[in-house]
Copies of this chain bind each other. A is one copy, B any other.
Amino acid sequence: MAAMTRRFVHRLRVRYHECDLQGVVFNANYLAYFDIALTEFMRETIGSYQRLREGGLDLLVVEASVRFRSPARFDDELDIAFVPAPLGRSSMVSDLQLLRAGETVAEGRMAHVFVDVEAQTTVEIPDWVREAVEPWTATPTGD
């Protein structure tokens, strides 16, 4: 029996100044969109990103990638799906998808590590975060 998982999606509208001379969203802004989706994902799961900070923790990006499929344009409404893979010891790898009316605009992946802000070292993901995030992680594929 497959475990039920939920899929987190955040909607935003492309702002005028996020577009460049080509008339489309400037490529770096896709990573900013991913970051916004992360913030909203943290709101949904643990209450807010600040709750991490209050717990002396932070999230550092260690890797990010984007494949651009179809340009997003000014005033487009985009849905950003944020799907973390099953959590590692201190890392969270998330798949992101940007959709406009169901069409894929871009796909990406971000890898984050949890760090102790004081010690500036990676830390094990605390249980209260793990429990809040796990219902949203991708179902492991396969048997």
CB distance from A71 to the nearest CB of B (A): 8
A23 partner residues in chain B, CB cutoff 8 A: 21
Q: How large is the interface on A (under 10, 10 to 19, 20 to 34, 35 or more residues)?
A: 20 to 34
Contact of A16 among B39, B63, B75 (CB under 8 A): B39
Contact present for B39 and A15 (CB under 8 Å): yes
A70 to chain B, nearest CB (A): 11
Smallest CB–CB gap between A44 and chain B, Å? Answer: 14
Smallest beta-carbon distance A51→chain B, Å: 11
Of B15, B30, B32, B63, which one neighbours A68 at CB under 8 angstroms?
Answer: B63
Chain A residues numbered 32-81 whose CB sits less than 8 Å from any CB in chain B = 32, 35-36, 39, 48-50, 58, 60-68, 74-75
Q: Is the CB of A66 within 8 A of B68?
A: no
> In the docked arrangement, what's the CA distance between A6 and B32, Å?
33
Contact A64 B62, beta carbon cutoff 8 Å = no
- Do A16 and B21 have beta carbons less than 8 Å apart? yes
